[in-house]
Structure 1
Amino acid sequence: MKLMGNKRLLILMLGLICFIVLMGLTFGRRGYGTWPEKFLKDTVSWAQGVLYRPTGAVVGFFEDMSRLTTIYEENKVLRQTLSKYARDTSRLNDLEQTNKRLQDALGFTERQKQMNNYQFRTAEVIQFDLANNLITVNLGEKDGIRTNMAVMSVAGLVGRVVAVSPFHSDVQLLTGIDDKAAGESKAISVTVKENDQSYGYIESYDKEKQLLVMSKIDPRDPIKPGDTVITSGRGLVFPQGLEVGKVVEKHEGDFGITYVATIQPFAAFNHLREVFIIEVPELK
C-alpha cells in the first residue's frame, strides 16, 4: 500500500513537471512551433467544431422559432390594424357620399322653394322592384303621403306614388309608363323650358333605347333636340315645372299627322337613394 501511494505521488509529480515545462516552452511565443502544440491545437479545435455544429444548429433553431413567433404576432397586429383601417375608410367614404347627397338635396329643395310653392318630403328608398318598375320608400299615410303624388330626385322626375300603407309607399317609375296599360299608367303632360309653345304627352318608355317617348306633338311645334322637357301642369297628377329630361330627336309619328320626340331622362332609376315626394299646397 505504501508502494502504491508512492507511485501515485510520483505520477502526479511527473504530470505537474510536464505541465510546467509545456507552459515554459509556449510562454511569450506566438504561433504553434512544435508538433505537440500543433497536435493539441488541432485536436482541441476539431473537438470544438464537432461540438459547436450541432449545438449551434439547436440554438439557431430555437432562435428562429422565437423570431417566427415574434413575426407572427406582429403580422397578426398588422392584419387587425389593416382591417380596422379598411373598415374605417369604407365608413368614411359612405359618410362622405351621404353628406354629399344630403347637401345636394338641401340645395335642390332651396332652389325649388324659390321657383314654386311646392313642399318636398324627403324619403329614403328601401326596396327596388325594377322588374315591375317600382320602388318602395319609407313614408306613408302617417306622413301625409297620398296616391298620385309626384316623386322626383335631385336630377329630375322619377315617377308617382301608386300605393300607400301607413308607413311605406310604392312609387311607379317613369320606366313603367305604358300607354297600353289602361288605368294603370298615367301620361305626363309636358312642355319645354326654352319656349312656351311646345306641348305633348309622355305616354311610353322605349326599353331598348332607354328613352321616354313624347307623342302628340304638333308639326309646327318648335321643339328641337337639346331642349329641356318639363311638366306643363295641365294634367291632374304632375305639377308644373318639374324637369323630366332632354330631347334627343324629333321625327314624324306613325301616320304623319303629329310628331314624336324621344327624351333622355335626367333621373338615374337604378341608383336612387333619396327621393322627394311633392305636395302641392294649393291642391289640398
Structure 2
Amino acid sequence: MFKFMGNKRLIFLLTGLVCFFILMGLTLGNRAQMTMPEKFVKDTVSWTQGLFYRPAAYIAGFFEDIRQLSVIYEENKTLKLTLTQYARDTQKLNELEAQNKVLKDALGFTERQKQANNYKYRIAEVVTVNADPYNNTLSINLGQKDGIKKDMAVMTIDGLVGRINQVSEFYSNVQLLTEINDTDSNSKAIAVTVKGRESQSFGMIESFDVKTGNLVMNKVDQADPMQVGDTVITSGLGLVFPNGIEIGKIVSIGLGEFGITHKVLVEPKASFRHIREVYVVEVPEVR
C-alpha cells in the first residue's frame, strides 16, 4: 500500500513537471496571440489590480494635493510679506523724495532771498488749520520764545500768504490774504508796487474777491504804467509788510467805482490750500 502511495506521488510530480514544461513552452517565444487561459488570467489580474489601484491613486493624489496646498500657502505667505515690505519701502521712499524736494526748494528759496534782501526767514510748520469761512487762519509752531511778533509777514516759497495776527508763548496764528477786507478794522491793507517799476507804480490791496479768487488792488492812478502780467510785490510803505515780497500777477485792469482810479485784480502767486510749511519774515532793526 505504501509502495502504491509512493508511486502515486511520483506520478503526480511527473505530471506537474510535464504541465509546467508545456506551459513554459506555450508562454516562451514571440507569439502573435495569447491563449485563452492567458487572456483569462491577464484580464483577471488586471481587473483585480484596477480595484486596488484606483483608490490607492486617489488617496495618494489627495495627500499630494494637501502637500501642494501647504507649499502654496507658504509661498503665498512669503509673497504677502514681500509685497507688504515693498509697499512700506515704496511709501518711505516717496516720503524721503518729498522731503528732499521740500529741502531743495527751501534751500533755493533762502539763496534767492539772500541775494534780494537781508531779511531773516524763520521756517515754521503748520500745526492746525481753521477752515472757518469767516476766520480762515493757520496756527504755526513758533511763538514769542522764538522772537515772533504780531504783524510779521508770512510767506511760502511761492509768495506772500498772510501776516501774524496773534502770538502766544509757543504758537502763533496767521491771518491769510484771503481774509483781507476793507470793511474789517482787524484787517490791514497791503501797500504794493510793480516789480521792475517800483518808483512808478503804486496801489493798495484792500480785499479778496472770493468769486474770482483774486486780490483786489485799489487807489491805482490812471496814469500808472502797470500792465497785465506784471508781478506785484510789497512796497514797504505800509510799515507792516516789508518791501520786495512777491504777491502775485496782474490779471486785469479796469476803472474803479468812481472812475477816478483803476481797480486791478491780482492773482496770488502762493496757494492757500494744503499749506504745510511757511516762512516768517523777520526784518533786521535799523540802528
**TM value normalised by structure 2:** 0.90
Q: Which residue in the other structure is 1:117 paired with?
A: 118
Q: Which residue in the other structure is 1:3 paired with?
A: none
Q: Which residue in the other structure is 2:187 paired with?
A: 185
Q: Which residue in the other structure is 1:246 paired with?
A: 249
**Aligned-residue offset at 1:276:** 0.6
Q: Secondary structure at the match of 1:46?
A: helix
Contact 1:125 1:275 in 2 (8 A): yes
Q: Which residue in the other structure is 1:198 paired with?
A: 201
**Aligned-residue offset at 1:119:** 0.4
Paired positions, count: 281
Q: Which residue in the other structure is 1:102 paired with?
A: 103
Please show how residues 241-280 of structure 1 align to structure 2 within 5 Å.
Answer: 241-280=244-283
Give 1:167's aligned amino acid.
F
More displaced 10-residue stretch of structure 1: 224-233 or 124-133: 124-133
**Aligned-residue offset at 1:140:** 1.1
Give 1:264's aligned amino acid.
E
2:10 and 2:208 map into 1 onto residues whose CA distance is 123
Q: Call closer, same or farther: CA 1:253–1:62 in 2, change over 3 Å.
A: same
Q: Call closer, same or farther: CA 1:127–1:32 in 2, change over 3 Å.
A: farther
**Aligned-residue offset at 1:23:** 3.5
**Aligned-residue offset at 1:13:** 8.6
1:9 and 1:158 map into 2 onto residues whose CA distance is 125
Give 1:235's aligned amino acid.
G
Q: Which residue in the other structure is 1:226 paired with?
A: 229
**Cα deviations by residue, 1:154-204 (Å, 9 ceiling, x for unpaired):** 00001101111221111111111111111x111111001031311111111
**TM value normalised by structure 1:** 0.91
Give 1:166's aligned amino acid.
E
Identity of aligned residues (%): 58
More displaced 10-residue stretch of structure 1: 185-194 or 50-59: 50-59
Q: Call closer, same or farther: CA 1:23–1:233 in 2, change over 3 Å.
A: same
Q: Call closer, same or farther: CA 1:9–1:67 in 2, change over 3 Å.
A: farther
Task: Tell me if 1:139 matches 2:142.
Answer: yes
Structure 2: runs of 5+ lacking an equivalent: 1-6
More displaced 10-residue stretch of structure 1: 130-139 or 245-254: 130-139
Give 2:83's aligned amino acid.
L
Q: Which residue in the other structure is 1:208 paired with?
A: 211
2:75 and 2:282 map into 1 onto residues whose CA distance is 60
Contact 1:249 1:261 in 2 (8 A): yes
Contact 1:32 1:38 in 2 (8 A): no
Q: Secondary structure at the match of 2:285?
A: helix
Q: Which stretches of structure 1, 4 residues or more, deviate above 6 A after TM superposition?
A: 6-17
Give 1:189's aligned amino acid.
A
Give 1:209's aligned amino acid.
T
**Aligned-residue offset at 1:11:** 8.2
Contact 1:156 1:266 in 2 (8 A): yes
Q: Call closer, same or farther: CA 1:205–1:15 in 2, change over 3 Å.
A: farther
